[in-house]
A and B are shown apart, each in its own frame.
Chain A
């Protein structure tokens, strides 16, 4: 239809006839009006005696004034106190020498203003008529903060709640794990915060952060809005003139390296209906350079936002795999990053990864068309114009010119430089900065549905959300999900003790003798376990009439003897762990032994939800699993020294039967590498009066 009409119109014109002058020819796009002139204003700038650089942008469109303070320092490595910088910057707003937190909040809200403190800056905004009051509060917070334990504790608690909630959020997990992989745990951009690191943060850490980094000599203050430079200057002098400069450290960091070859990193989240896919690696890309301008266009062609880039057109418009697929190339003073990402449904996860890789390869192997580059430049230029609507952009330009020592005309020439980028430069930029052969493909999703099909893209390694390698989830055992809030390890343990008969009944059990049998590779194995009190035990394993293994505890020392005569004795923490693993009711020993317990979440054990409680003694951890519904212990997991190094051994507990009012598991299963051993109880008797001599350890 459309073509016919077009050809007819062209035919008529060729005959020298005109189509009706008034009829709109909708087959052609309208012609643009002449391009508008783009004016980039210049702020008025001055520097205070203490080194604070001030930039004033007057814009009377709205009757408001914003003060935006930026601290220019290199990122801080927080180490075992990861999270303290963020907490410290929030703490700054929670009290001054003359104002409580309530008074600060009240003062800001009363004038309808806003005030934020972050690790790298402070932002305050209000209507013009309230500017003096706003500045007074802002400067009080910046110059005279008072750090109190009470407010720190609040922030720590909120931060930990935040961390807990991240565990449910696939996007948060993907971002977290990607950063750990791309930058490494020893890099400021990669070090993960956790409940433990947050716990270690002290008031002193926060104070030191403030004293070191909230300094005028590394500060840039943008004053933007309905204010003249003549009005601004005395105000800034008055409120920030007394602020003292200080020495600010300039740390250096190692450049993170991309992986030797592309690796699939699977983070199992069994409840997922979509996979969060991040393809990412570090890049060397400094901001505000010719290279970074080329990189922007390269990325916009590949995966820029807004709906016309290759990834979007392929994964969404062509295949319908996703609501959106995008990429970013981040420039940074220390280290930049490439990332392509999308949320895709489980069934097409591998196909989506395949299309991602096709696009990443294709932008390297061939130049974009001139038309594609032109269109991308136009989008870029449009966005540049749109940012100019916000007068703060003018201040940002001036501040970045100073921070990065750019030529004075860098931003006025910006669009000219964008326009000068060639298709060859885009190709070169793609080859330098986008590398599908040396990337992490992070997939957060339901491993049991998506992992197998991802193997064709590389080796699969499993990670937890703290960036630690973990074992591939075996069928029936999937990784941890959601820690139920409001529930503690103690509550889970108490529920278990109640479920097996209650503390009173347990207290009446003085000793237990249990005989079990199993079969290992066709050989019958007998196991006899004798336990007395809380901590004494003797475990004998017999096969073909011989003792093949014996473990004895006298309550303090533990001795392990093998069939070949070798033996090993352990004391202290190591002995305690052995005792915990073998004791009848280790739950009653946690406190006296100084073991720390933590409820880390729920896992599916044999298809049913179980609470996972980690029991840590020194450097050793064992995990206990308690059925959510029945409260009974269904498994414990310990790391054992095996022939091929360390391995996790799961001991499953089931078939509980009551003896003297207490339930004991009568079936034990244990995985030894690929093997599973099932131990069935033949007899279990209690309170036979076992002699202490049985449990001597030399």
Chain B
């Protein structure tokens, strides 16, 4: 009956999935898996230092342009077959927000050879698990299977890429399902709308201004022909990475990959990649969202560089300093000592185009949003003013090292990380070498990036306040 309340489930807010993720049962609390969106944040220890942690893989291109990555690990008889398509909500047209995620749902409707309703049934019936999720930048599908079903996984993914079923019936059913997903996770959930709200306030022109779930209006407007065009444009071999990890023999796997993916034709279109630069924000953006909450929430978002930028790494280290672990600055000061907050968190978005460094605080009972925000700002000011001590800097590095090791605990996570590194940073081997980039970050860098990015002019501040505190309905407009 008594349980710990998670006020804002961050991982829940960033990705939008075909099927709800079921929480895994845990005996005593074990460390939670990191949100997939932050997957590239954990750095890698150097191979010389930790030979056991090194991830070996092979990669190559098929003639049709499909990139393939294979990682062999025969410890447990299971295999993760994953496909990452380089299309997310940022590739959507204005007025069609939510399209990429909606489309992801359609990809479970079947193919020329797989009848409607059979896709999940076949994989589940073979003892597999499957799901997919859509972020601002990409769409990710996976099957986790007993390793003797590798061929089935390849068949299923190749059917999706070759000739998926895109029909009226599927569109109409999934339209309702997606709208329910939106209601369940965004509208009927305290603070559930924070991510779309933060984005819409932070971006004026860049398509990051809408979240992967899209708006009800746009979901209603999506038409069947548009889905067919979308499929032709983005679901082509050259726009995807097939990443496989687990109990495989790479040589056999290559033959099977050739068998199922070799015959898929190259696409005829060039996928749309928005070339939009968000103008520099010149003044602080503030707003209040009246929601069904009782504890005020403060959501700050500072514009920051894209993943892979040297400053991105510095900001990620700064995130660890501020919010990772009980002794992290925000937790220690705001939750533990001043008791202004029940939860604090910081997460830099790992996005392909310049993104956001988001800081969150949920107020303790009786604490005003203003007071909590002042406390959060004070922590940022400290980082701007003073260099961290050697001991604290070492602590942060140790935390980062552990994160890296934990990240590679399962083959599904490894397959996804390899694809991520390749798709966004062009180098899958960063799964082994990215730590060097983190190690380059100095104490001075932390202070420098704090002063450069964590400024008032560069941020959006949203308060989530109880609806009862809303002054007058008329003022709010629609």
Contacts and interface: CB of A to CB of B under 8 A. Distances in A.
Given A101-B336, A379-B124, 8 more contacts: A26-B113, A64-B405, A110-B398, A126-B402, A161-B342, A165-B7, A169-B190, A192-B1
A382 B127 contact: yes
26 contacts: A27-B113, A30-B151, A33-B148, A36-B146, A62-B406, A109-B324, A110-B391, A116-B28, A127-B402, A130-B398, A157-B365, A167-B294, A168-B294, A179-B1, A274-B180, A274-B184, A274-B188, A317-B173, A322-B184, A323-B178, A324-B20, A345-B183, A385-B127, A386-B78, A482-B293, A488-B366
Interface in A88-143: 101-102, 104-106, 108-114, 116, 118, 120-123, 125-127, 130
A108 B27 contact: no
Interface string A29-62: 1111111111000000000000000000000111
Interface stretch (B114-122, B275-283, B427-435): B114-122
A345 B178 CA distance: 12
A86 B2 contact: yes
B368 to A, nearest CB: 5
B339 interface: yes
Contact of B76 (A30, A123, A125, A389): A389
Interface in A591-650: 601-602, 609, 611, 628-629
A68 B30 CA distance: 9
Contact of A64 (B128, B366, B406, B467): B406
A234 interface: no
Contacts of B176: 319-321
A332 interface: no
A306 B19 contact: yes
A165 B292 contact: no
B46 interface: no
B146 to A, nearest CB: 5
B5 A162 contact: yes
Given A121-B28, A161-B364, A343-B188, A484 B129 contact: no
A426 B174 CA distance: 31
B258 to A, nearest CB: 10
A480 to B, nearest CB: 11
Interface string A58-72: 001111101011100
A68 B183 contact: no
A172 interface: yes
B50 A164 contact: no
B161 to A, nearest CB: 12
B468 A609 contact: yes
Closest 8 CB pairs of A and B: A382-B127, A320-B176, A36-B77, A121-B28, A375-B125, A112-B402, A112-B398, A105-B326
Contacts of A118: 28-29
A468 to B, nearest CB: 15
Interface string A527-539: 0000000000000
Contacts of B2: 82-83, 85-86, 193
Given A101-B336, A112-B401, A306 B120 contact: yes
Contacts of A274: 180, 183-184, 187-188
Q: In terms of DSSP, what is the predominant structure of the interface of chain B? A: mixed
Interface stretch (B61-69, B407-415, B441-449): B407-415
A33 B151 contact: yes
A461 interface: no
B113 A86 contact: no
A323 B20 contact: yes
Given A86-B2, A102-B332, A317-B117, A62 B409 contact: yes
Interface residues of B, number: 113
Interface in A145-195: 154, 157-158, 160-162, 164-172, 176, 179-180, 188-193
Interface string A262-290: 00000000011110100000000000000
A107 to B, nearest CB: 9
Contacts of B149: 32-33
B376 interface: no
B406 to A, nearest CB: 7
Interface in B1-56: 1-5, 7, 18-20, 22, 27-31, 50, 52-53
Interface of A: 1-2, 24, 26-27, 29-38, 60-64, 66, 68-70, 82-83, 85-86, 101-102, 104-106, 108-114, 116, 118, 120-123, 125-127, 130, 154, 157-158, 160-162, 164-172, 176, 179-180, 188-193, 226, 271-274, 276, 305-308, 313, 316-324, 326, 343-345, 374-375, 378-383, 385-386, 388-390, 392, 396, 481-488, 601-602, 609, 611, 628-629
Interface string B152-174: 10110001001000000000111
A456 B391 CA distance: 67
Contacts of A161: 295, 342, 364-365
Contact of A307 (B4, B19, B147, B162): B19
A300 to B, nearest CB: 9
A61 B190 contact: no
B211 interface: no
B327 A307 contact: no
Contacts of A378: 124-127
Report which residue of A37, A85, A166, A306 has the largest number of chain B beta carbons within 10 angstroms of its beta carbon.
A306
Contacts of B145: 382
A402 B398 CA distance: 37
Given A118-B29, A123-B29, A161-B365, A323 B152 contact: no
A69 B108 CA distance: 41
A30 B325 contact: no
Nearest to A34: B148
B296 interface: yes
A42 to B, nearest CB: 16
B29 A160 contact: no
Nearest to A94: B336
Nearest to B192: A169
Contacts of B117: 313, 317
Contact of B31 (A125, A320, A482): A125
Nearest to B185: A323
A396 B300 CA distance: 42
A24 B190 contact: no
B1 A29 contact: no
Interface in B463-478: 466-469, 472
B436 interface: no
A529 to B, nearest CB: 32
A343 B469 contact: no
B77 A38 contact: yes
Contacts of B75: 61, 389
Contact of B466 (A120, A179, A484): A484
Interface string B93-115: 00000000000000010001100
Given A33-B150, A307-B19, A486-B368, A323 B181 contact: yes
A323 B7 contact: no
Contacts of B121: 308, 375
Report which residue of A110, A123, A601 has the largest number of chain B beta carbons within 10 angstroms of its beta carbon.
A110
B189 interface: yes
Contacts of B128: 379, 382
Contacts of A374: 125
Nearest to A220: B27
A608 to B, nearest CB: 10
A459 B178 CA distance: 32
A127 B122 contact: no
Contact of B146 (A26, A35, A345): A35
Nearest to B371: A486
A385 B129 contact: no
Nearest to A151: B336
A593 B12 CA distance: 49
A110 B19 CA distance: 38
B260 A24 contact: yes
B346 interface: no
B49 to A, nearest CB: 10
B208 to A, nearest CB: 24
Nearest to B19: A307
